[in-house]
Each structure stands twice: as structure tokens, then as C-alpha cells.
Amino acid sequence: MKFSSGFISRTQEISDLFENTFATSEGPEEGALIADFVRNLMSGSAKEDLYCFTALEGPEIVGGIFLSRLTYAQEDRQVFILSPVAVTPAWQGKGVGQQLISFGLSELRQNGIDFVTTYGDPAFYSRVGFRQISEEFAQAPLALSQPEGWLGQSLTANSMDPISGPCTCVPALNNPDLW
């Protein structure tokens, strides 16, 4: 298994991976919603506001993750959000998701990113360093329908100091259906 950075020239395969993975686990509507989200991330985000990492088995993309910028205007720290994450059904449960997320976080750390949030199942994301955070600790860009899924981790040696003020997300995430 190899891990790679970027999506240029493989946008269709990546959106298919997300569509098939989420359609299998949560039904076709969710598959279509997430595929749309991923296409909007790739086509509508500024280069410096988006990272994509993939897991490759030979030539095949078997996993993918995106991290996009959350802008906290009152903060010097650089904050990104991990979303979405997919591992193709045939490769689930073999450690690919955790290895891919760890790879991505280490790349962000090397690029000077200070803090990463995500929004999902604490039981899974706690395996790769995320802890539950409150909206007092760090505001979310849109209303959270499941506040218990709001998670974060510091990528620096600094303690988990609260993150000040409101934030905005990239256009693709500015969709209440995703929150």
C-alpha cells in the first residue's frame, strides 16, 4: 500500500470512490451527496485551502481523504477540517483508513498546520488522535446536528488552547446537509 498526495488527473476515480463507498454503507442518496461534496471541493477550493491524500494498491485508489481550511479570523493558528474519508468496501477493516489519516496529518504538520478538526464517529477517529471538543472550545462554521461528533487534535506540541472566534469554511462545506 502506498500513500500519495493530490488529486489532479484522477478526479473522476476519486469521486467514484466516495460515491460507491458511501452508497454501500449509507445508501445511494448519501453516496450522491458525498460525491457532489467531493467534486465541489476539488473544483471550487483555493489550492492553499485543500489537501487530498489517497491510498493506492498498485494503480487502484482504495482510500481517500480531504482536509480543507477553516478560517478563524481572530486566530494566528492554521486550522483544517478532515472530511470526508472513504476506504473502498473490499479494503475496509484492514487498517487503511487509520494509516491514511496518520499519513495526511503528518503531511499537514510538516506544512505548519496547527490544529485539525473533524466531524464523525468518536469511536473511529479517537484511534487517530482526535478527541471530542465543544463548540465553546472551537466554533463550527455551520450548526452541528450531532455535536458529539465535533472532534479535534493539535498538531503542535502546544497544549489544546481554545480557538477564538467564529469561522468560515470552503464553499463546498457551506452546505447544511453535510452538518
Ligand X SMILES: CC(C)(COP(=O)(O)OP(=O)(O)OC[C@H]1O[C@@H](n2cnc3c(N)ncnc32)[C@H](O)[C@@H]1OP(=O)(O)O)[C@@H](O)C(=O)NCCC(=O)NCCS
Q: Is 95 in the site for ligand X (CB under 6 A)?
A: yes
Across the strands, what pairs with 67? 51, 82
Q: Return the range that interacts with ligand X (CB under 6 A); candidates 71-79, 84-92, 145-153, 166-174.
A: 84-92
Across the strands, what pairs with 131? 152
d(CA 107, CA 86): 18
Cα–Cα distances in Å, from 54 out to 23, 63, 88?
A: 19, 5, 11
Contact predicate 67/51, CB 8 Å: yes
Q: Return the range that interacts with ligand X (CB under 6 A); candidates 39-47, 93-101, 144-152, 170-178.
A: 93-101
The candidate with the shortest Cα–Cα distance to 53, out of 108, 122, 123, 6, is 6
We find the least distance from the C-beta atom of residue 115 to ligand X, in angstroms, to be: 19
In the list 31, 64, 84, 152, the residue contacting ligand X (rule: CB under 6 A) is 84
Site for ligand X in 112-141 (CB under 6 A): 120-121, 123-124
Of 78 and 83, the one with the shorter C-beta distance to ligand X is: 83
Q: Which helix (H) or strand (E) holds 16?
A: helix 11-26
Q: Is 87 in the site for ligand X (CB under 6 A)?
A: yes
Binding footprint of ligand X, residue count (CB under 6 A): 19
Write the interaction track for ligand X spanning residues 16-35; mark x where CB under 6 A is met and - where it is not: -----xx--x----------
- Residue 31's SS3 state is helix
Give residues in contact with ligand X (CB under 6 A): 21-22, 25, 83-87, 92-98, 120-121, 123-124
